[in-house]
Every structure is written in C-alpha cells, then in structure tokens.
Structure 1
Amino acid sequence: MSFTLAIVGRPNAGKSTLFNRLVGKKLALVDDQPGVTRDLREGEARLGDLTFTVIDTAGLEEATDESLQGRMRKLTERAVDMADVCLFVLDARAGVTPTDEFFAELLRKRAPRVILACNKAEGAAADAGLIEAYALGLGEPLRISAEHGEGMADLYAALMPISDAFAAKAAAAAETAPETDIFLPEDDGSEELDLGAAEEAWRPSTARPLQVAVVGRPNAGKSTLINRILGEDRLLTGPEAGITRDAISLQIDWDGLPMRIFDTAGMRKKAKVQDKVEKLSVSDGLRAVKFAEVVVVLLDAAIPFEQQDLRIADLAEREGRAVVVAVNKWDIEDDKQQKLRDLKEAFERLLPQLRGAPLVTVSAKTGRGLDRLRAAVIKAHEVWNRRVSTARLNRWLSGMLEAHPPPAPQGKRIKLRYMTQAKTRPPGFVVMCSHPDKMPESYSRYLVNGLREGFDMPGTPIRLHMRGQGDRNPYQSRKKPGPSKLRKHLDKGPAKAPGRGSGKSRPR
C-alpha cells in the first residue's frame, strides 16, 4: 500500500520539473512560461527505496469563478483532497508572495499533511527566500533543486515516516482481513488447457490494460468524452479550444474492460502551430498514438472529415494501430438518418485505407452511444490481434489465384507459391513468390482487400510483404575449375574401362 503525493504551488515554481525528476521520465511538459500544466497528471514515483503515486497539478490561481483559471484551481483543490500528503513548492529566488501566503492557509485547512519545499534553491541567491519560507508556519522548508536533483535526500527523509505509517497500516489491515483466497486444482498439463490459455493471452487485464488514445482536432470534445466514460470531471474542459496540453493517461475499468486511456491535445495544421508549447503538446499526442493499441479518431459532427481529420486517421493507420472513428456532438443533429448516410459515404470515399473500420456516433455531453463505442473498441482490438493458420491462408490464396492470376510484367510470370502470417498487432503476412520486385501495387491491394473480406478483418491495418524464394541455379554458387585443374584433368587421358587394355587374357 503506497501513499499519494500531490505537488502544488504557484505557476512556474518548478512542479512539473520535480514531477519528471520523481518519475524518472519526461512525462510532463516543461517550459519557461507559466501556466503550461492544466490537467492533473499521475505517475509512479521512485525515490530511493520508496515507491508512491505522485500527482502534478496546475499552478494555483486566486480565481474562483468559472473562467479557465478558476476551473484549473478546482482541479488542483480536488488533487489536494485526494492526496495523502501535499508538497507545497515555492520559488526560492522569487521569495514568498502574498499568493503563497494565501494558499499556505488553504493547505493548512484542507491538506492532511503538508511538506514545504523551496525549489530553485541552488546558490546564494535563494537564501533570502528560504528564510522567508519559515514565516508560513508549515515547518522547516526543504532546500531542493528539481532541475539539478539537489535536496532529494532531504525529501526522502521527510517522506520516510509517512511511508512507514502507511506500511504499518497496510500490514494491520492484512492481518484483520477475512480469508477470501480460493485455491484451484493444479493444471494437469492437458493440451486443452494450454490452448485455452493461449487463446486468452491477448485479452486485456488489470496488469496489462488495453491502451486507447483519443485524438482529433481542437474542441472536438475529447476531454468531455473521457470524463463521461469515467463518470466524473477528471479532465479540464470548457468552450475554449486547445485547453488540453499534456497527453494525460488514466487507468480505468470501463464496464469490466481494463483500459488505459490517453487524452491528447487537439492537433491543428502544421502551418498554424507557431507557439512552442503547442508544438510540444502535438508531439506529446503523437507519442501517445505510437504507444496506443486502439486509436479513437474523434470528429465534430458539424464539420466532419476535414483535411486535418483525414491526416490524423492516416497517421494512425501508418503507425499500424487499430482505428475507430467516432462522430461527437450527435445530440445537436436534426436529420440524423441523412447525416449518417452522408458520413458513411464520405468515410468510404475519403479513407479507403480504413475501409470497414467502425464508425460510431456518440454524444459526450449526454453519454449516448458510449456502449456502441466500447463494443467497437473491443472489436477493433480483437481484429488487430487476429491470427490465421497457414493452411487456411494457402487455401484462400489458391482461390484468389484462380479468380485473378498475377500479371506477367516484361514477359516474366510471377509465381505465388505459399503464404503465412508472420505477426499480429497489426496482422502481417508474407507471400513467397518469384520476382517480388516486379509485383504491381494493384495486385497487392487486391490481396489485402481479399484478406479483409475472407477472414473478417475490416478496418485494421494489414501489412503484406512479397519475398523471393530460391529460384537460382543450384550449381550457380559452385566455383568453375581453373585452367591448371582443367589441364591436369585433360593430361590424364580418357578413363579406361575396367578389365580392358591391361594385356591380360580373361579366363575362358
């Protein structure tokens, strides 16, 4: 049982830098300008032999209305309430400000435990701010530097008693807990059990949840959709476009489906992205797509299938991810049937590389259509992991060759000998053939479309590789005899038949 540490403080105090230091990765976006972090980001931290959950929060603002700063403050206050201990970070070089004094009073009332830390404390320029921090009444401040890793030993010493208290509480709870373990008979090693285990190996579990990334243009409703799935306002939302900056990952259980879902920043056209923070946000979202297994491309029902939507969907397909297209804000549409027919026609025409991928209409505001979205995600992941036996593939290949034999470019006939599946996630197939470099792209597409229809793999990316087989002369690799060896062979003369020319008479 580990504890939860929330890092709070004014904007630009170095909270995200300290968060990255504790988790050992550059997960949170860091920049010199204040207010980069807006959402709550969780991570597994390690400090010495201590392991705990750390939460990076937005900078505390004094706004209390429904503005963007006010909504950011509400999320930070929520992190304070759910954390076991709060690390209040000050900027030692700026000293203690009236805002710091206000939030110190707030933490004294709401937080169960508070640790005071003065960041950017390397050098003599931070001495004055360190002395001022004593006046906040939160105990002795820690002198740390998140950028250079100084003061981590003092932070470890401050967290050690808290960790010991939680470990003792967990041990006491384990002793008093009722016996609930169920002992199953051991596996007898039968083949049926092994095959069943292999069949279930790909299914998501709590230890390895399904990785899902929600991507799309700004203001498409990605954060609102994830909040609706969670059943709580966990992510910052609002009418402003481009609120989300970090690719926030949340581990949830969606009606029995273990899942880690990524909320990404809205992706605009590359020419319109000028701000440095937005560039970092887009690159963070692209990284989430590469780590995901299923990508949900969220469209706005009012302006679907714009050029940027097509680029995002094509990116997910090129990365080899299972794709689900979801159309949000369906509750404001009047003529839903006609709109749905137009969407399906545009989808088949504009995204032929994803032909057959699920197209789901949802409403993140009301929650309508989320059951269909969940079923589409499960189906896409199942197809993405599908494996076809070699025998079935070769029977299918024979039928495809009979229907349409491969062409003979430049008079050279291409022979397709056999086919096998080399990998899954996404499905990858290898065809052994002659002259693979002369295979037209059109015939490869013919085989890929046939695979989708023949083995029920709609929408998932399929990789088809043509590989040449050994058609060369078996004697080609042998070395020809040199002139000296050929001369010796000729000097020996013709070989004599046995029993002849020896001068001896044969017995009668």
Structure 2
Amino acid sequence: MSRLATIAIVGRPNVGKSTLFNRLVGKRLALVDDQPGVTRDRREGDGHLLGLDFRIVDTAGFEDYDAATLPGRMRVQTEKAVREADAALFMIDGRAGVTPLDEEIARWLRSEDTPIILVVNKAEGKQGENGLMESYSLGFDNPIALSAEHGEGIVDLFDALRPIVDGFDAAAFEAVPPRGSLGEDGGDEEDEDAPLGPLKLAIVGRPNAGKSTLINRMIGEDRLITGPEAGITRDSIRVDWQWEKDGEVHEIQLFDTAGMRKRAKVVEKLEKLSVADALHAVDFAEVVVLLLDATKGLESQDLHIADRVLQEGRALIVALNKWDVAEDPSSLFNGVRGALEDGLSQVKGVPVLSISGATGKGIDTLVRVAFEQRAIWTNRVSTAKLNRWFENAVENNPPPAPGGKRIKLRYITQARTRPPTFVVFGTRTDSLPGSYTRYLVNGMRKELGFQGVPVRLNFRNSRNPYDE
C-alpha cells in the first residue's frame, strides 16, 4: 500500500514548531503558549500545503539533558521522530539568531540520514533578517525565511517539500479529527448511517493514573512519554493501533489525554488548555475508559469525570489500573463498584474492570468490552419491537394522573443512536414525574439491551387541532 511522506518538525523549545504544525494541518490541534516546553509527546496530523499532502509530526523542543530526566525522555521521542521521517524541518528563531543549542542540534541532524530543510521562523522584519544571515553558518542548504504565525514564506516551503513529497503516492489516510470534533468549536453531529470505522477509544482520568503507560503497553512500544512525574501529558495524542484477536484485525484510534484535577486546583493557563483538550477528546470518542489508580481508589474527582463523559453521551468503562500492586483487591473492587452504582445512578451497568498497564493484565478484556459497549451505543431497535415493549411497560405500570388528569402515552420511536435517543409521544407529558421516566429508561436497559450506556428519553405532546 502506498503512503504519505512523513515530515517531522524539530528545533529547540519555543521557536514556533507547534504554530507551523497547526498551520499545515489547517486546525489548532497542538497546544500553543508563550512559555517554552509546551509540547512533550509527538503529535501527528495530515498536512496540506498548496496541493501537497503529507504526514506532519510536531515534536518536543530539543534540549540537552540526561535521558533519565523528563526533558531527556522528550528528546528521545524527538530523535525517534526524525529517524522515522522522510524529511525534517529544522526550525530556528530568526529574531534570536543562532544559539549554541541550535548549533548542537545542527551537528546531531548532520549525523543523521534524514534529509534536513532549514527553516528560519519569525523572519519578518529586520530582526529576522539578521537571524536568516546567521543561519547559513549551520551548514545546510539555503534556509527558508518563514513566519508560521502570519503565513509568510509558505511558497518557499512548498518548493522545498515538493521534491520529497512527490516521491510518494497519495494514500487514503483518514484525516486527523478536526478541531470541530476534537477541538474548540464543539463536537460535530455523528452521521449514524455511516458505517462503523475504527473504534475511537479515549483514556481519561486523574494525573498519574497510568494512561500513557497503558497505551504504550497496548501498542507494544514507548510511543508516549511516561514517568513518575504527574501531569506529563498535555496534548491529547491520537495513536492508531491494530488489535488482533482470533485471527481478525480490528482498527482502533487511541486517545491519550491530560490528567484532570479538581477545577479549583487548575489555575495555570496551560493546564486549563490541557484539560480542555482532554474534554475535546471525550467529545470525539465513542467509548471512554476512566482509568483509576487502584492504589488510591475512587475519589470524588473520578465521579465528576465519569459524569462529564455520560453527559456527553459517550459509552463509559471504568478500569482499575495498577491492579498488580493493589492492596486487598477484592474489597477494593467491590467498594468501587458500589460507589459507582450510587454515584452514577443515571446509568446502570457501567462495566468495571481490573487491569495493569505495567504488566498487560486485562488489556484484551478491556478492548473486547469496549467493542461490545460501542455495539450497544450504536444499536437501533426496530419500531415494532420498541412499541411492543412500550405497550407492555405502560400496561404493567400506567403513568400517574396528577390532579386527577390522565397522562396518555401513545407510542415511542428511536430518534437516533450514538447515544441511543428515544422520543415518547402522548398528552400532558410535561406533567410526567421523573420517577416514571427512570422506570421507562431502566426497562429499556433491561429488556432492550442498553446496559451501561447513556440513554436519552424525550417527550412530545401530541398536537390538538382544536387548541386554537
């Protein structure tokens, strides 16, 4: 199968790599802030430039630290991105000129086999011109003067990329989810008639619950940066994965997200952006795994996250991670399940699983259950079957008659899936108590197989032609 050329963007922190990445993908996917070191994990997207299509990779700022430190682990990811790429854009800051770290990065890049294109960002104005002249000392071909923020120099970048990209045939890659569904404009409406594609599975939870470690274990490589420090992940990173089971290959899009702390503790702008990006990933996902730290148990913040997932209408799975080091696991499991039944009373039957991202225990079960929950989440019940159940439910437990005035429920229809949404038509439905709504929803879960997913039930009054 043919593929797209892969282009990596490298450079020291805060030279504008993520700004260029966002411009090339045409969406604000990567977090951008004035402070250095915002990007940590590699982020990939589908780049487009004046008719050229390619895979673009944003990387963390290159810093000279020991590999055991967090900046050192970030540098290792950057080095892997360059070695796996078909070409790399080496970006420097034209206003700052060539720095000793730029020279060190240049020496490293010259030792690699990957073709390098030197890009001088922030090159507008006289300050930028001085940096452009200095860049010739780095030993690469003619540098490209660019302004990633304002779009200047894009034609020159096109000319430099064209010989590389033209060597590859365009392939049918699914585009990275737009910011409208994984971003700032809110979630797009799903086309429920479209065939099911790859399972969109987001991993959420509090900081240091082991989300990145779990995804690395799933895909079998150190794709995401992990470590003892809390809050390493900032961007929501998509990783494409193929899960093989019983001789069949299943496509999955995994989303690693930033840890979500209590809102009162989130005061820094960057952490607010990271949490917002995690919530956008929830909007885009089909199934969301709430990862709990088994050594800490269930906390109120976990219930807040779960409630947010269910409010967005996503299928939810609760997974107790670090099960291999949990104390009194049986008591812990039963306690968490009981607390979830009380705290998430609006959705009964949410799956609770025990796993270990470190050892891989329970991962196959987790993925299997995720596919099962998506099947429930996308299930459509025939109108005939639905109304047979509805008639029996109303007959067995007729709606009340507040004030002596009868409420008549006529029929029900399924308006949509993803999540399952139903509309009941009748008279005086606005007087129906919440307890009767719960009775109907619980009956649907039990009789129609909607256990563990959010079900939305709306009511409509039949129009009386003599009202006027």
Q: Where does residue 359 of structure 2 map in the other structure?
A: 366
- Paired letter, 2:130: A
2:392 to 399, 411, 422: 399
Determine the C-alpha separation between the residues in 2 that align with 1:166 and 1:451.
52
Q: Deviations over 1:36-67 (max 9, x none)?
A: 00000000000011100000000000113300
Q: What secondary structure does 2:242 align onto?
A: strand
Q: Where does residue 112 of structure 2 map in the other structure?
A: 110
For residues 46-85 of structure 1, what are the structure 2 equivalents within 5 Å? Answer: 46-85=48-87
2:144 to 124, 142, 145: 142
1:292 to 285, 290, 309: 285
Deviation at 1:13, TM superposition (A): 0.5
Deviation at 1:336, TM superposition (A): 2.5
Determine the C-alpha separation between the residues in 2 that align with 1:2 and 1:384.
34
2:426 to 427, 433, 444: 433
For residues 435-474 of structure 1, what are the structure 2 equivalents within 5 Å? Answer: 435-473=428-466
Q: Deviations over 1:383-431 (max 9, x none)?
A: 0011111211222122212221110111111011111111111111111
Which protein has greater RCO, CA pairs closer than 8 Å, 6+ apart?
Answer: 2
Percent identical among aligned pairs is 56
Determine the C-alpha separation between the residues in 1 that align with 2:67 and 2:44.
26
Whether the 8 Å contact between 2:295 and 2:327 is mirrored in structure 1 is no
Q: Deviations over 1:249-306 (max 9, x none)?
A: 1121122221111111001111111111101101111111111111111111122321
Deviation at 1:110, TM superposition (A): 1.4
Q: Where does residue 36 of structure 2 map in the other structure?
A: 34
1:239 to 228, 231, 238: 228
- Paired letter, 1:211: K
Q: Deviations over 1:130-174 (max 9, x none)?
A: 111101111111100000000010000011111233359x9xxxx
Whether the 8 Å contact between 1:297 and 1:323 is mirrored in structure 2 is yes
Whether the 8 Å contact between 1:433 and 1:468 is mirrored in structure 2 is yes
Determine the C-alpha separation between the residues in 2 that align with 1:252 and 1:239.
25
Q: Where does residue 387 of structure 1 map in the other structure?
A: 380
Whether the 8 Å contact between 1:6 and 1:80 is mirrored in structure 2 is yes
Q: What secondary structure does 1:467 align onto?
A: strand
Determine the C-alpha separation between the residues in 2 that align with 1:294 and 1:350.
20
Determine the C-alpha separation between the residues in 2 that align with 1:144 and 1:393.
60
1:211 aligns with 2:213: no
Whether the 8 Å contact between 1:394 and 1:418 is mirrored in structure 2 is yes
Task: Decide which structure has the larger Cα Rg and report it.
Answer: 1
Q: What secondary structure does 1:295 align onto?
A: strand
Q: Where does residue 332 of structure 1 map in the other structure?
A: 325
Determine the C-alpha separation between the residues in 2 that align with 1:390 and 1:322.
23
Whether the 8 Å contact between 1:202 and 1:385 is mirrored in structure 2 is no
For residues 80-99 of structure 1, what are the structure 2 equivalents within 5 Å? Answer: 80-99=82-101
Deviation at 1:339, TM superposition (A): 2.4
- Paired letter, 2:441: V
Q: Deviations over 1:432-484 (max 9, x none)?
A: 111011011110011001100011211111011111113453xx55xxxxxxx
- Paired letter, 1:249: R
Whether the 8 Å contact between 1:85 and 1:111 is mirrored in structure 2 is no
Please give the root-mean-square deviation of Cα atoms over the aligned residues, in Å.
Answer: 1.6
Determine the C-alpha separation between the residues in 1 that align with 2:259 and 2:265.
12
Determine the C-alpha separation between the residues in 1 that align with 2:221 and 2:166.
32
Determine the C-alpha separation between the residues in 1 that align with 2:112 and 2:293.
40
TM-score normalised by structure 2 residue count:
0.92
Whether the 8 Å contact between 1:409 and 1:438 is mirrored in structure 2 is yes
Whether the 8 Å contact between 1:20 and 1:26 is mirrored in structure 2 is yes
- Paired letter, 1:70: G
Structure 2, unmatched stretches of 5+, are 172-191
Whether the 8 Å contact between 1:44 and 1:53 is mirrored in structure 2 is yes
Determine the C-alpha separation between the residues in 2 that align with 1:246 and 1:95.
28
- Count residues with an aligned counterpart: 442
Determine the C-alpha separation between the residues in 1 that align with 2:223 and 2:357.
14
Q: Where does residue 405 of structure 2 map in the other structure?
A: 412
1:375 aligns with 2:382: no
1:304 to 265, 273, 297: 297
Whether the 8 Å contact between 1:64 and 1:73 is mirrored in structure 2 is no
Q: Where does residue 7 of structure 2 map in the other structure?
A: 5
Structure 1, unmatched stretches of 5+, are 171-199, 478-508
Q: What secondary structure does 1:129 align onto?
A: helix
Determine the C-alpha separation between the residues in 1 that align with 2:464 and 2:136.
82
Determine the C-alpha separation between the residues in 2 that align with 1:409 and 1:281.
49
Q: What secondary structure does 1:354 align onto?
A: coil
Determine the C-alpha separation between the residues in 2 that align with 1:310 and 1:472.
47
Q: What secondary structure does 1:417 align onto?
A: strand
- Paired letter, 2:211: K
TM-score normalised by structure 1 residue count:
0.85
